[in-house]
Amino acid sequence: MSDLYQTQEWKSIPVRERYCLLPTMEDVRPGALVKVENPQIKALEYCLQEKGMKSYREKDRLWFVSKNENLLEDIAKKSMSHSKTKSSYPISEEEKEYHTSIGKFFGYPKCCVKTFVKSLDNKLLPLREWRKKAGMVLLKGDYNNLFDYTLHVPCGLECKGTTKIAEEIKKCLENYDKKAAEHLRKFNRDSIERAAKKCITT
Ligand SMILES: [Zn+2]
């Protein structure tokens, strides 16, 4: 059991960043993106160092972090060239490649990355589509609670890759930082409940 998650440094990092970061620190997923500003930067640097993590900073506030330097180098290159391109429809091959690299960096299931890119191509908003679908299932009472612990947009309610990674994230967060686990659960559930309410009223 690591004591790092009991320290003042760890606790000073905003909780929404902790639930992104912790599964990468504990090898549940390969990379994470965190947003911190002064005065939390020193605390983040300390925590990253304690866990042997490397980082690539973009625009000062955004930190790509990983233990895998090759992965970090790849995402740094892609991210730099991506920030220079504008989105257009249908989306370009570069844009597709960028989302695929992002998916690899965060350890998203391949099926979910493919579906995400495809819906962008169809001019859909993947996250909104997902919440609508999940909201309907929640209303029917068939919702799998593990979806409350995802850090990506699942390709569908049958996605085994999603429930597998969500279960690992849940276990990891509950084990090391219960507050972060509860925060992630509530954030996802609230957004799905809001989508469900919209389905009833419209
Ligand atoms: Zn999937």
Q: Say if residue 178's pLDDT is above 80.
A: yes
Task: Give the distance (Å) from ligand 1 centre to CA of residue 93.
Answer: 21
DSSP secondary structure letter of residue 195: H
Q: Say if residue 9's pLDDT is above 70.
A: yes
Q: Which residue has the higher pLDDT, 123 or 198?
A: 198
∠ CA 149-154-159, nearest 5°, is 95
H/E element holding 34? strand 31-35
Q: Which residue has the higher pLDDT, 65 or 79?
A: 65
60: its two tokens: 């000062």
Task: Give the distance (Å) from ligand 1 centre to CA of residue 158.
Answer: 8
28: its two tokens: 């549940």
In this prediction, residue 150 has a pLDDT band, given cuts at 50, 70 and 90, of very high
Q: What per-residue confidence (pLDDT) applies to 15?
A: 96
Residue 93 buriedness (CB in 10 A; 0-12 / 13-18 / 19+): exposed
Average pLDDT over residues 95-115: 94
Average pLDDT over residues 97-122: 92
Nearest to 20 by CA among 137, 151, 162: 151
Task: Give the distance (Å) from ligand 1 centre to CA of residue 106.
Answer: 14
Task: Give the distance (Å) from ligand 1 centre to CA of residue 123.
Answer: 19
In this prediction, residue 87 has a pLDDT band, given cuts at 50, 70 and 90, of low
What's the pTM? 0.92
Task: Give the distance (Å) from ligand 1 centre to CA of residue 68.
Answer: 24
In 3-state terms, what secondary structure has residue 138?
Answer: helix
Task: Give the distance (Å) from ligand 1 centre to CA of residue 4.
Answer: 32
Task: Give the distance (Å) from ligand 1 centre to CA of residue 109.
Answer: 5
Q: What percent of the chain has pLDDT over 70?
A: 95
Average pLDDT over residues 166-171: 98
In 3-state terms, what secondary structure has residue 48?
Answer: helix
Sign of the four-CA dihedral 46, 51, 57, 60: negative
Q: What per-residue confidence (pLDDT) applies to 2?
A: 66
Q: Which residue has the higher pLDDT, 86 or 22?
A: 22
Q: What per-residue confidence (pLDDT) applies to 131?
A: 94
Task: Give the distance (Å) from ligand 1 centre to CA of residue 66.
Answer: 23
Q: Say if residue 104's pLDDT is above 70.
A: yes
Q: Express each pLDDT in 19-78 by its tens digit.
A: 999 999 999 999 999 998 888 999 999 999 999 999 998 877 789 999 999 999 999 888
